[in-house]
Amino acid sequence: MNKIIKSFVAIIVSVVIFTACDNDFDLVTDKVEIPVVYAIINAADTAQYFRVERAFIDENISALDIAQIPDSLYYADAVVTLTRVTTGEAWIMDEVDGNIEGYPRQDGVFATAPNTLYKLRTADITLESEEQYMLTIDIGDNRPQIEATTVLIKPPFLATPADEGGLNIDPARRFRINWNNNSTNAIYDAYVRLFYDETIDGVTTPKSIDWSLLKNSEINEIDVLSTGFYDLVGNSLVVDPSITRQQRGASFTLISGSIEISDYIRIGQANLGITSSGEIPVYEGSLSYGLGLFGSRFTDLRDDLVLTQLTRDSLSSGPRTGDLGFQ
């Protein structure tokens, strides 16, 4: 399932700052309402979850106070529809509570309950790569209908590491993986997850460490020093002779994002450099009305990877991790 259900803090704060800096902005009414949408299709997920909310600019009430009022945060009668453009197949999404679905909203700026999301089971719809899909949102009260389209990203061809194969991280060599870039302007995240059991005073706890290889990258290859993996493990764990750690294998994850996600991240990072203006950019995206994002991504998970003997030996007796009790 989609585990990246965002809170829109950046978008809504952008709206507030943007309008506050505009000297020509006239608050004619008590409230200015702005729809905010976060919708990403992932064919690898068992269900699709979209978030539809609204931001307010109010001359009398702080935006932070408004965000804590559920009735102000969500639309009461929104109808969210996903359509496959070439065939006309359309699916109306179910309104659900993310807290009940297993995706609670983190404490912070926004009210945490209810946590309204819109859901479609992937098995109940037709998702085909390189097909165009339309998102339609009717928020009622004769307000403009929100529309956006995206082309479902085509999964890259990734030959290695093979499913249920071995993962070799040789500290004497560079760690290299590449794949065919099948989609224009795609963006990638990639990481290796090491699984191990940690035993302290007879109590064993399953744990993991993530080695980040790519983040928001447009490059379709990984070429890094393998020693970075052992440095990460060595710096993340405490040295304690009473602790033993049993290696259990690893996984490799490659996440591909569509051009809309690439643009969203690029614009959001535009003013983060030391020579930036310091202003937070507002990302309007492809929505016909409101702010937010409608795009697609694909998660390629290579799970149950065994560690090669060389990798296991390097963890248990190597200079960076040999004193951590790996067996």
The mean pLDDT of 205-216, rounded to a whole number, is 96
- Give 135's strand partners: 82, 148
- 112 pLDDT exceeds 50? yes
pLDDT score recorded for residue 105 = 74
Tokens 């639309």 correspond to what residue? 75
Q: Quick check: 148 and 295 in contact, CB under 8 A?
A: no
Q: Residue 190's closest CA among 223, 144, 234, 154?
A: 223
Pairwise CA distance, residues 139 & 146, whole Å: 8
* 3-state DSSP assignment of residue 259: helix
Tell me how far apart the alpha carbons of residues 300 and 255 are, in angstroms, rounded to a whole number: 6
For the chain, the residue count is 327
Q: pLDDT (tens digit, 9 = 90+) per residue, 171-204?
A: 999 999 999 877 767 899 999 999 999 999 999 9
Model pLDDT for residues 40-77, shown as the tens digit of each residue: 999 989 999 999 988 765 555 555 555 555 556 788 88
Give the N- to C-terminal CA distance of the chain in Å, as an integer: 33
Tens digit of each residue's pLDDT (9 = 90 or more) over 245-286: 999 999 999 999 988 888 877 765 544 444 433 444 445 557
Picking from 155-169, 247-261, 281-295, which range would have the lowest pLDDT averaged per residue? 281-295
CA dihedral 222, 225, 229, 230 (to 10 degrees): 170
Answer yes or no: are the C-beta atoms of 248 and 209 closer than 8 Å: no
Q: What is the pTM of this model?
A: 0.76
Tokens of 70: 């559920």
- What's the pLDDT at 277? 37
pLDDT, greater one: 112 or 166 = 166
As a three-state string, the secondary structure of 267-288 is HHCCCCCCCCCCCCCCCCCCCC
User: DSSP assignment of 50-65, as one string?
Assistant: EEEEEEEEESSS-HHH
Q: Average pLDDT, whole number, for the chain?
A: 81
Nearest to residue 265, comparing CAs of 155, 183, 185? Answer: 185
* Residue 269 to residue 73: CA distance in whole angstroms: 26
What pLDDT is attached to residue 55?
Answer: 75
Distances (CA, A) of 107 to 14, 104, 148, 174, 190: 20, 9, 30, 41, 28
Q: What angle do CA 293, 299, 304 make, to 5 degrees?
A: 155
Q: What pLDDT does residue 259 have? A: 85
State percent of the chain over pLDDT 70: 75
| pLDDT of 232 | 98
Which residue did the predictor score with more confidence, 294 or 284? 294
Write out the H or E segment, with its range, that includes residue 197.
strand 187-200
DSSP character at residue 252: E
Give me the phi and psi of 4, to 5 degrees please: -115, 75
Q: What is the dihedral of CA 135, 137, 142, 144, to 10 degrees?
A: -50
